[in-house]
């Protein structure tokens, strides 16, 4: 079987990010995409309309509009940024 190392790296990075966000109370869903970058849907459990998609490549996490979130080696910073974007108006995260 042939493995796409970049894809496996992106999948693994998104799995780590999903675990970090789940620990903070967010709902996550990883979606592998054949021929494209995998994506992670992240939802604020207290305000489900606050949902966003995160992509990853071999080096970085990205918003779908091609803004870089953080390096894949810095899961904490990526989770902090995503939590801030998906926070309710009061600034509270779901945790």
Express each pLDDT in 11-64 by its tens digit.
899 999 999 999 999 999 998 877 788 899 999 999 999 999 999 998 999 999
pTM for this one? 0.83
Which are the contacts of 74, defined by CB distance < 8 A and separation ≥ 6? none
> Domain limits of the chain?
17-85
């Amino acid at each position: 079987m042939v493995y796409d190392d970049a894809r496996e790296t992106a999948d693994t990075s998104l799995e780590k990010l999903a675990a970090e966000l789940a620990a903070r109370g967010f709902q996550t869903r990883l979606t592998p995409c054949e021929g494209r970058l995998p994506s992670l849907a992240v939802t604020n459990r207290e305000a489900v309309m606050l949902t966003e998609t995160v992509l990853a490549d071999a080096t970085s996490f990205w918003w779908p509009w091609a803004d870089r979130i953080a390096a894949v080696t810095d899961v904490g910073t990526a989770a902090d940024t995503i939590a801030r974007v998906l926070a309710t108006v009061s600034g509270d995260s779901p945790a």
